[in-house]
Chains A and B, each alone.
Chain A
Amino acid sequence: MSDTPNVLSPETVLKEMKQNGVTDVVWLPDSETNWLFLLMESEPSLRLVGVSREGHACSIAAGLSAGGRTPVILIQNTGMMESGDSIRGWLLSLEVPVVLMVGYRGYTRHGVNKDTAADYTERFLYAFGLNYYLVENDGDAERISIAFEEAQRTKRPVVVLIADEYHGFNR
């Protein structure tokens, strides 16, 4: 855990992944995730599967899940919105119990957004009927486990919005 309560540390995210049995991280990096990438890369229990477009992560995760693995999808909100049909077809219709950890680009907490990525993120989730949990700092970390439990129980994708643009991940 980070000593600083107001950030979400990459160590916390990694701990939550391991605690919930994640085997594969299907991901497309954004500018804030490099420290998490270095941590994940040095974690022997995780396989990192890099994609070049976020929608690819959905069908890959579905295949991993069908084959008995526990994937997590790690992308940014912009890519999540680009992935709409893949989320519909490869995750929702196949009832894949997967957590999507989504960087909430543009989130300001106060709703005074200057980035349209933030404007549409939660509207997108409502439109697709995806339940989500907001995680802003280490104190919210248990919501990540709640998301994993819910995904398994409901056989649906569940979203964790990383809502501090990974400030703790920039070191």
Chain B
Amino acid sequence: MMKIADVLEAFKPLREEAIVVPGRGGRHWVPISDNEMLDAPMGDPAMGGHAGFAFGLALAQPNKKVVLFDSEGDILMSLGMLVTIAEQKPANFYHFLLDNECYATTGGQPVPNAKNVAYDAIALGCGYPRAAAYTELDELTRDLPGILAEPGPVFTAIKVFPEVQNEPIGNRRPWQTRNRTEVMEDLRRELGPTA
């Protein structure tokens, strides 16, 4: 098991000019990132959609890597998305899963069959050409450069500690520095139109 912030810190020096969609890891990624204009911390527009959003960015910007930190709750809600991604085969798409085995933002209730799901196997079964699973930070840190050096789409499942939030959503301290429409506008300005 790893801490989400440690995973993101391990990724940070390898980022280069990648677009980062931090998913539910946004509250950890925002203070770590040093290239805010290429970050897409969307918060939680609607559960299950982070993969689609990052995938759409990857299709639109084939010359930039797009790195997604997804969650297992989101993936389970949109398993069919993996099939669509695998069919389009975006070579610039790097799909990381932060699997904490629970719904951390609603109090830590377990996701269905939390301890017995092989998400890397699901990704391979959906047609991703490469997938792997990690439980230890040193092994992930060792392999990250190779994961990011090879063409995507690639799926990397990572077991992380649950960092459970129990406060009512309305009482939580906001971690965002920009609202969603500002993030969208910044991305469009930074990336420009593509043919």
Residues of A whose CB lies within 8 Å of any CB of B are 23-24, 47, 49-53, 55-69, 71, 85-86, 88-90, 93-96
A64/B45 in contact, CB under 8 A: no
Q: A86's closest neighbor in chain B, by CB? A: B46
Q: Given A60-B53, A63-B54, A63-B56, does the pair A95, B184 have CB atoms closer than 8 Å?
A: yes
Q: A88's closest neighbor in chain B, by CB? A: B46
B84/A68 in contact, CB under 8 A: no
B59/A63 in contact, CB under 8 A: yes
**CB of B141 within 8 Å of the partner chain:** no
How many pairs, one residue from A and one from B, have CB atoms within 8 Å of each other in the complex?
Answer: 127
Q: Looking at the complex, which one of B57, B78, B88, B180 makes contact with A67 (CB distance below 8 Å)?
A: B57
A72 to chain B, nearest CB (A): 13
Q: Looking at the complex, which one of A50, A51, A67, A89 makes contact with B187 (CB distance below 8 Å)?
A: A67
Q: In the complex the two chains form, what is the Cα distance from A94 to B182 in whole Å?
A: 9
A59-B50, A60-B55 given; 13 more Cβ-contact pairs under 8 Å:
A49-B59, A52-B80, A57-B52, A59-B48, A62-B52, A62-B53, A63-B57, A63-B60, A66-B184, A68-B191, A69-B59, A93-B45, A94-B180
**CB of B49 within 8 Å of the partner chain:** yes
User: Nearest 7 pairs between A and B by C-beta?
Assistant: A63-B56, A67-B60, A89-B46, A59-B52, A59-B49, A52-B80, A89-B45
A23 surroundings in chain B (CB, below 8 A) = 194-195
Q: Looking at the complex, which one of A66, A67, A90 makes contact with B49 (CB distance below 8 Å)?
A: A90
Q: In the complex the two chains form, what is the Cα distance from A61 to B84 in whole Å?
A: 13
Q: Given A56-B84, A60-B84, A89-B49, does the pair A94, B181 have CB atoms closer than 8 Å?
A: yes
Q: In the complex the two chains form, what is the Cα distance from A88 to B180 in whole Å?
A: 13
B59/A64 in contact, CB under 8 A: yes
Q: A57's closest neighbor in chain B, by CB? A: B52
Q: A53's closest neighbor in chain B, by CB? A: B80
B residues 96-130 with Cβ under 8 Å of A? none
Q: Given A64-B59, A66-B60, A88-B46, does the pair A58, B52 have CB atoms closer than 8 Å?
A: yes
Between A and B, 11 residue pairs with Cβ closer than 8 Å are A49-B59, A52-B84, A56-B80, A57-B52, A58-B46, A60-B56, A63-B57, A66-B40, A66-B53, A67-B58, A69-B56
**CB of B163 within 8 Å of the partner chain:** no
